[in-house]
Structure 1
């Protein structure tokens, strides 16, 4: 299957998924809580994507859903809330979310070779699950990320559905952190693409941002979600105690699952990676340690 044909099939699946979500929101039972109605619609859309993943035998069908849905949630919530179109804080958080979504989706499209390719982690997880592979595919690869992203977007829900406090210094911090996170991820992506294009067999990445962190893209991703939580606190500090649940979920996923899996694979495939592990910080960027003789 060609790359263009693969992208068209994924786009069609997402269009059907969003149509199913919209139908639920328009004609499904009303729970009286907008966030819960939206969560149910999001799960139904995920099930459509899951069905497409199984149809084509490729769970990477889901990958772009991570960055496609947040702007849709934001726009829908804003349209259903009590805020007017002139709310400055809502526009600030919209700018951050849209830039993040365009960058991440664009990066995925740039690197996606077609449905003949699947993220190496997915078949590994399914194989490890044995007879439970269908459940792992549905829950672990599709539903859990959907819930994580939804939790990460809850501060945006707070910002765009009701009037918050006046703009203040925390909004400026949230904007700076959010834009910085998107910029960091963009630079890390560009540096990695250039490295992959020119690398020699077995060579490891330790240039630019990747010399300060072994996973600067993941650090930028967590920082982005942290900026959304800051926007939520700036709008409604009285509910700050639960606004960071999405950030915690993201951090747990990257530090507890994604990074260990990638580290293990890199050590198995690239012997020189051990030297990188010894010198370059794992997650939070900082100057590398000096190489020891």
Structure 2
């Protein structure tokens, strides 16, 4: 199947999923809470995508859902909210940040996904490792859990769009810079990776540009985006910072303890020289080349290690 035909199929999947979510929001029971209505609609759409994933035998049908649903839900909250005191300027800035992020990430997926013959390498590994529980793991681990993590990280957007908040302040400026800088950083990191892939030799590890500052600069950009949404919400309601940060922190933990270890292990298996990069390059946060190694050396000296 050609890439164009594959993208058309996935486009149909999302059209049906969004139609189901919209039908739930319009015709389903009204809980009186926009965040809960959105969560239920999100789950309905996730089940639809899962059904298509099983039908096509490819769970990568879900991949772009990560970046397609947030702007849909943010637009719903913005249009449906009638809460007095919502700051329109902050709402507009947040919607711009979400739109830029979603366009970049979805466009990146469209550019890189080869088509229906390709499935993310992690999905068969998870299903096969579960044995007879493979279908359950497919639904829960590959579809449901990511949906819940993304929704939790998107809750600060709901807080901005459907709750009263104070006027714009310096933290909104920080949120805007971080929120727009994150997809730019990801765009540059992805472009640098593609350039190396076109010319590198088998087994050669990537350690140029932003990838010399971090082993996963694209992940750093992704996490930064979700924290930017929390910064917008905290700017409007500083007293709620304790729960507005839960979503992005969970997102950070997912990358730290699931995505990064899996990617590092795969790189080690395919590129033995990657161990040197692990030893000298931070796993997520960006630091100038040489800084991480110096810190390790300092830690060994401090503990008396040779």
TM-score (norm 2): 0.92
Q: Is the 8 A contact 1:214 1:282 kept in 2?
A: yes
- How far apart are the structure 1 equivalents of 2:41 and 2:53? 19
Structure 1: 5+ residue stretches without partners = none
- How far apart are the structure 2 equivalents of 1:284 and 1:88? 31
Residues 1-293 of structure 1 aligned to structure 2 (within 5 Å):
1-82=1-82, 87-289=88-290
Count of matched residue positions in the alignment of Structure 1 and Structure 2: 292
Deviation of 1:268 (Å):
0.9
Q: Secondary structure at the match of 1:278?
A: helix
Deviation of 1:276 (Å):
1.1
Deviation of 1:87 (Å):
1.3
Deviation of 1:29 (Å):
1.3
Deviation of 1:83 (Å):
6.3
Deviation of 1:288 (Å):
2.6
TM-score (norm 1): 0.96
1:230-288 alpha-carbon deviations (Å, 9 max, x no partner): 00101122322211111111111101111101111111111111111111111111123
Q: CA RMSD in A?
A: 1.6
Structure 2: 5+ residue stretches without partners = 298-306
1:114-169 alpha-carbon deviations (Å, 9 max, x no partner): 01000000000111111111111001100111111111111110111133101111
Q: Is the 8 A contact 1:281 1:288 kept in 2?
A: no
1:85-123 alpha-carbon deviations (Å, 9 max, x no partner): 981111111111111001100000000100100000000
- How far apart are the structure 2 equivalents of 1:76 and 1:31? 15
Deviation of 1:11 (Å):
0.4
1:176-226 alpha-carbon deviations (Å, 9 max, x no partner): 111121211111111111111221111110000000100000011101100
